[in-house]
Structure 1
Amino acid sequence: MESEDVDRDRLSPEKLAAANINPTTRLATDYLNHYNNAVMLLDILPAMPECAAEIEAWQPIAYEDYFSHSHFRERDLAISAYRRADPAVRRAFDAAVSELDTAMLETRHLVLSGDPTDPVMAAELHRQQREYLQPLIARTSAIVNGAGALREADLDVDAAQHSVDQLFP
């Protein structure tokens, strides 16, 4: 019983908000930096092709692993809150992250298969950022921030995978 009280206090909406963790979803936007940084690198890649090495090194990382290895001040709280998030929120979030990981890996493959300074390649990278990666990041961010009600359709992993497959024929 005492442990539940400590947990409840530790995960209070005030403490979560102060730690930049959404009190409703119990997710932290800091995790999205893993994707935002990669998108920034893709943006400057045509002008700075040496960034290709950083894109090549990019790998998906699970939410808990990201925080375990981060310098986020409240990383333990972020992990604890994630573990206690509503299962429907976690399913929607994890499905969105899976879709985002697939899109990022496909884009990474594109970078590694060509010359990012080539105008055609640069245009394709820009298109993928604008039409696919940024909307996927925005969708994942909306889940983190609790924007809108979650519907069963949001939890359909097969439909999400089909959408990604359509991006990269």
Structure 2
Amino acid sequence: MTGELGIAGEVIDRAAKTRALCERARDSNVNEKTLLATDYLNHINEIVMLFDLVPDAPECLEDCKAWQPLSYQDHFRASHIADRDLAIEAYDFSPPAYKEPFDQLVAEMNRLVALSIEKLDAALAEGNEDVTRMIAERASRNLQDLIGQASAIIHGTDHAVDQAQIDALMEF
């Protein structure tokens, strides 16, 4: 029998635990099918907004550099939303059909952020406003596309991420 130890030391069947989490997720910020919450995407939206500011306020690049990726569970640990504990607990029980492509998208978003900051830093150092604007706009647009894909997964769309499509987003 596969399972994990419960608080009182009893073995709880993973399927039963998943069903219980799905029940608790009803009428919450956590999707009852995927056991994921869109609130996590607010963290990525923060850097999108910062990228949008950089062309007109280059000093915002320092804020971009200060932004740090957060794991899903770390985001919710720092969150004040009502369902934060449920989001943290449910993440480990999210079905692989949703969790794996979601985690892949998050990794790609974090990679895109790092690459974009590097390129923005170089363009600003060169004083090239047109290139700075192009990089910031492309980073923002590409991140928004990935956020849309992640949101679809969170809402229960079985979506296999096409690596070629993600690689195309990373080209500047």
Please give the range of the TM-score, normalised by the shorter of the 2 chains: 0.7 to 0.9
Q: Deviations over 1:22-71 (max 9, x none)?
A: 11101000101111111011112222223212100122221111111222
Say if 1:27 and 1:82, in contact at 8 Å, map to a contact too.
yes
Say if 2:36 and 2:154, in contact at 8 Å, map to a contact too.
yes
Match of 2:152 in 1: 142
Change (3 A) 1:165 1:106: farther
Match of 2:137 in 1: 126
Match of 1:25 in 2: 34
Say if 1:46 and 1:117, in contact at 8 Å, map to a contact too.
no
| Partner SS state of residue 99, structure 1 | helix
1:107 Cα deviation after fit: 1.0
Which gives a bigger RCO, structure 1 or 2 (Cα 8 Å, sep 6+)?
1
Change (3 A) 1:68 1:162: same
- Identical pairs, percent: 34
| Partner SS state of residue 105, structure 1 | helix
Say if 1:107 and 1:125, in contact at 8 Å, map to a contact too.
yes
Deviates more, 1:97-106 or 1:20-29: 97-106
Match of 1:56 in 2: 65
Query: Among residues 73, 87, 92, which one is paired with 1:78 in the alignment?
Result: 87
Say if 1:106 and 1:168, in contact at 8 Å, map to a contact too.
no
Unmatched 5+ residue regions in structure 2?
A: 1-5
How many residues align? The count is 160
Change (3 A) 1:144 1:83: same
| Partner SS state of residue 123, structure 2 | coil
The whole-number CA distance in structure 2 between the counterparts of 1:67 and 1:84 is 16
Deviates more, 1:3-12 or 1:113-122: 3-12
Matches within 5 A, 1:39-118: 39-115=48-124, 118=129
When the two structures are superposed, what TM-score results if normalisation uses the length of structure 1? 0.79
Between Structure 1 and Structure 2, the one with more helix by share is 1
Which one-letter code corresponds to 2:144 in the other structure? Answer: Q
